[in-house]
Structure 1
Amino acid sequence: MLTVDPHPLLDTVAFEATFPKPLSEQPSPEWLVALLKLDAPAPLSADDAVRGAVRDLLRHGGFKPTGRSKPASEYLVRAAGDGTLGSINAAVDVCNAVSLHSGLPISVVDPERAKEPLRIGIAPADASYVFNASGQSIDLGGLLCLFDAEGPCANAVKDAQRTKTHAGTRRTLTVLWGTNALPGRTERAFTWYRELLERLGATVERRS
């Protein structure tokens, strides 16, 4: 079960995808890796208006989406521009491709590593979590997050290490962090996302 707290700007889509094989046995095909380039043909493209609207969404609860805490979608643009955005696994590569071109931050977690119930809401002032294998943490106060029974586990900046996908992952939960200041963009991004996943042989079930 996934519930979404009331929010004046949030326009989210959440869905589960089931892959035919563990991610370690399903490398990204060439057509998917090609989408990780800024000039790849895509049904959506981002601009300064999109970036500004996304930052406004994250800023609403008091979070400051700047510097190292800027939206993940902005990191992807920079990485694609300098040639460092490479393939990770099929699930993350689809996420990164859609986020790169839509301008919307997207979270992907392994639902087998998260504990129900799940909720989307704003993190309290003292919240934080570890976001990488090195043990680095991010302060989450005021930021929209996905929560499980143990606390925040994903957001539009950095997802928690404890619920990230891994070599054995076959099922993913994805959250598109869209805003109603960009009418229809979240749905268009989800439609393209579903098409890419189905091309990989995955099945998709919407959760919100």
Structure 2
Amino acid sequence: LRHGGYKPTGRGKPASEYLVRAAGEGALGSINLAVDVCNVVSLHSGLPISVVDTDLAAEPYSIAVAGPETSYVFNASGQEIRIDGLLNLCDAAGPCANAVKDSQRTKTHAGTRRTLSILWGTRAFPERTAAAVAWYAELLARAGAARVETALLSR
């Protein structure tokens, strides 16, 4: 998370930390298959994962560090998160997902049919990252995902 200068505190900590707390409190419920599989892999690997609805996002996609004073709405209540210095998945409209919170603009919902997932791994644990990617792809394929492709990117 600190790659581009981001300082994770409070609500700005990795999504995987939130999942551990929510699961421990019994507050982690089912959302939809894509997100449920993401949550299982994230809980077991300790790595945050983003899932975006590709029917709500617009190509081209890129991975980039957000510039100064960048933010987006991350929930249905309209709350914003500042993402300055945080590595993000961006679509044609700008940042839409990161290891902390995904944007409301491209969030999955009950009618989601096509997704793009980013497992936010780390060079410090390459084996854990590769294993989590493989398990995530396997679970999605077993669940009947029409197409599962993986690629490991390094910056």
Q: TM-score normalised to the size of structure 2?
A: 0.94
* Structure-2 residue corresponding to 1:140: 83
CA contact (8 A) 2:137 2:149 kept: no
How many residues are treated as equivalent by the alignment? 151
* Structure-2 residue corresponding to 1:74: 17
Distance 1:133 1:183 in 2: 35
1:131-174 deviations in whole A, cap 9, x for unaligned? 00000000010000001111100000000001011222111100
What is the correspondence of 1:117-196 to structure 2 with a 5 Å cutoff?
117-196=60-139
SS in structure 2 opposite 1:178? coil
Distance 1:110 1:179, change over 3 A: same
Q: Which amino acid aligns with 2:150?
A: R
- The sequence identity of aligned pairs, in percent, is 72
* Structure-2 residue corresponding to 1:205: 149
Distance 1:60 1:113 in 2: 27
Counterpart pick for 1:88 among 26, 31, 35? 31
Q: TM-score normalised to the size of structure 1?
A: 0.71
Counterpart pick for 1:101 among 41, 44, 48? 44
Bigger radius of gyration, 1 or 2?
1
| Structure ranking higher on relative contact order (CA contacts 8 Å, 6+ apart) | 1
Distance 1:63 1:109 in 2: 22
CA RMSD, 1 decimal: 1.0
Q: Give, in angstroms, the shift of residue 185 of structure 1.
A: 1.2
Where does structure 1 differ by over 6 angstroms across 4 or more consecutive aligned residues?
Answer: none
Q: Give, in angstroms, the shift of residue 186 of structure 1.
A: 1.2
Q: Which amino acid aligns with 2:101?
A: K
Question: Where does the alignment leave 5 or more consecutive residues of structure 2 unmatched?
Answer: none
SS in structure 2 opposite 1:145? strand
